[in-house]
Structure 1
Amino acid sequence: MKIDRLIGIVTILLQTEKSTVPALAQRFEVSRRTIERDIDALCRAGVPLVTVQGYGGGVFIEPRYKLDKTLLSGPELAALVAGAAGVGSVSPAPLARSLAEKLGGSGTDDLLIDLSSHYRESLTPKIELLRTAIAEHARVRFTYYYAKGVAEKCAEPYRIVFQWGDWYMFGWCPDAAGWRMYKLNRLTLLSVTAQTFEPRAIPPEALDFNARFHDGTLLRARVAASECYRLVEEYGPACYTRQPDGSLLLEIGYTNEDVAAAWLLGFGAKAEVLEPPALRARMASEAQALCAVYGAPKK
């Protein structure tokens, strides 16, 4: 619809500060002439658009312009500002304040989002470099730490994703010829290369990040009642049933045995794996290994 496209044009120009008629036409899949008519309609509606011809020119909104906040309800405005504050927690720019100024309001203070956790100092430069690489369609190089060891990687970045409580880069790995997710906290020595790439079409299934994890193996474990809060925090109150002796019977699915074993070890003697047999044997082996480390006093 035309009204959706007009609002979209204003939103893009508020976000990117400047664009071009060809770029907007490609973005909205319409002709250049249609975008030119849209720009004329926005100008007549009072939006101060400025067009500059020639090299380095484009379309932009007069810097002092504020979007009429009556277009947004109170909850919508608050959600926008809160979301900007969340992104701002890993960005060097004061996005929440800038957005509030453009919208002519300040939102509310009842929702605070900090997506940086303890890693803002290291996350912010990585995210800024990746945003530059994505905008320029440039490959990135980095050192990556994972279960197989340490490797030098090269990838084509497409998305910066906050999922499962962590930040990831989603992109195409030329070596593996497939789509991959790289956790930013495991990624060091990131650099944007001079090598550009032609953007690929991303299949919808590749963007279904949760589909990467299939909880196909059932874990049954007896857990001490004192650890109830940890089970609820991780899997919710429906993940266990309280037993007559006061213990908790945990029943959940898991994907990766290594991850499941590492999580269970955190309970110490307060969790006992009942099923599957392979994981129970794995935990017994881990316990024996710990006894070997801590059992005999060192000389």
Structure 2
Amino acid sequence: MQESRLFRIVYYLLENGKATAPELAQKFEVSIRTIYRDIDAISSAGIPIYAAQGKGGGISILSDYTLEKSFFSEQEREQILMALQGIMATTGKTSDELLTKLSGLFQMKYTKWIEVDFSDWVQGKPQQNTFDLIKNAIFQKKVISFCYFNSKGNNSKRNARPICLVFKSKDWYLYAFCLLRNDYRFFKLTRIRQVEMLSDTFTQDFTPIRIEKQIHIEKTITVKLKFDRRIAFRVYDEFTDNITEDTQGNLYVQVNLPDNEILYSYLLSFAEYVEVLEPQCIRKQIKKRLQKMQEKYIT
């Protein structure tokens, strides 16, 4: 307890510049005598803290003191800057003023190691806007309202208490308490539309995240695929394991895909460069869909 208070006293003085013993005693709910003992302990640790008496006096730390000399190793300082930069990258803001100030405090130069762009070649910036609004709602503990499209093609109006944002399997998800279902749910950000922050607030009392249990709830089917070598770049982008190759350079993959409309829209995105080898039911469905597509272009 004392060690925690000593750290908080140092942080308070660094932030406010100066404070009186009675002020610190009231702030940390201890006696003035205890504050003076704490000051002695902080000084003994090598931190340049001193007390000046009289008008305008008080307890302060030398203005040129930097935290890193006593609290953080070089590796810890690098980890703090890297973590902060990673967090800031998700905001979509280009300003690095905070990082510059912190690196100055640590007396070290930071390296820009990460860049996050939420847009793809088609959709532009809407996902970034959704991310920012939900992030603000999480911090402010505000209920949000949105329209959600599920994997079956249905959409519904939802009100939810946003808990946190989760990045899993190349996609962002919102973990929230859904007021419509009266249970915790994961919502894929790309399927959220017309999101609004409401005036209703909530307390952050929630069930621990169950990522594996909730995100992968879609029924899947094992599919064997043959890809033309001309699409190899995409195959290696999207299927990292269990890729085999024949003497002509064609690629073979066995993968579990969602057993719904997502499967067909995904496979058809490869156009003529993919063939479904198994199962037969999927081959027949693909053939039927291609015939319907062909009918649209007869004339």
Cα distance, 1:157 vs structure 2:
0.4
Equivalent residues of 1:261, 1:283 under 8 A apart: yes
* Alpha-carbon distance change, 149 to 104 in structure 1, aligned in 2, over 3 angstroms: farther
Could you tell me how far apart the structure 1 residues matched to 2:296 and 2:65 are?
A: 66
Q: Which one-letter code corresponds to 2:251 in the other structure?
A: L
| Corresponding position of 2:114 | 112
Opposite residue 113 of structure 1, the aligned amino acid is: E
CA distance in 2, matches of 1:63, 1:185: 48
Determine the C-alpha separation between the residues in 1 that align with 2:222 and 2:77: 44
Taking structure 2 as the reference length, the TM-score comes to 0.68
> Distance between the aligned counterparts of 1:232 and 1:293, measured in 2?
33
**Structure-2 separation of matches of 1:174 and 1:165:** 27
Secondary structure at 1:71's aligned position in 2? coil
1:36-61 CA-partner distances (Å, limit 9, x unpaired): 99xx589825499xxxxxxxxxxxx9
Counterpart amino acid of residue 269 in structure 1: E
1:262 correspondence with 2:265: yes
| The one of 244, 254, 271 aligned to 1:241 | 244
Q: What residue number does 2:89 align with?
A: 89
Query: How high is the sequence identity, in percent, across the aligned residues?
Result: 19
Residues 247 and 256 of structure 1: CA distance in aligned 2, closer, same or farther (over 3 Å) = same
Say how many residue pairs are matched. 258
The separation in 2 between residues aligned to 1:131 and 1:159, in whole angstroms, is 8
Query: Map of 1:284-299 to 2, 5 A cutoff?
Result: 284-294=287-297, 296-297=298-299
On the 8 A contact 2:225/2:278 being kept in 1, the answer is yes
Equivalent residue letter for 2:100:
R
**Superposition map of 1:72-87 within 5 A:** 72-74=73-75, 77-87=77-87
Unaligned runs of 5+ in 1: 18-31, 49-60
**Deviation per residue, 1:96-127 (Å, 9 max, x gap):** 43543443323224x33224345785455544
CA distance in 1, matches of 2:194, 2:204: 24
Deviations 1:224-252 (A, max 9, x none): 1222221211121x322112444222112
Gaps of 5+ in 2: 17-28, 50-60
Tell me by how many angstroms 1:265 deviates.
0.8
Bigger Rg, structure 1 or 2:
2
Aligned partner of 2:285: which letter? R
Report if aligned partners of 1:90, 1:123 keep a CA contact under 8 Å in 2: no
Residue 8 of structure 1: CA displacement? Answer: 9.7
Q: 1 CA distance for matches of 2:199 and 2:115?
A: 35
Q: What amino acid is the match of 2:257?
A: Y
What RMSD, in angstroms, separates the aligned Cα atoms of the two structures? 4.2
Report whether the alignment pairs 1:151 with 2:156: yes
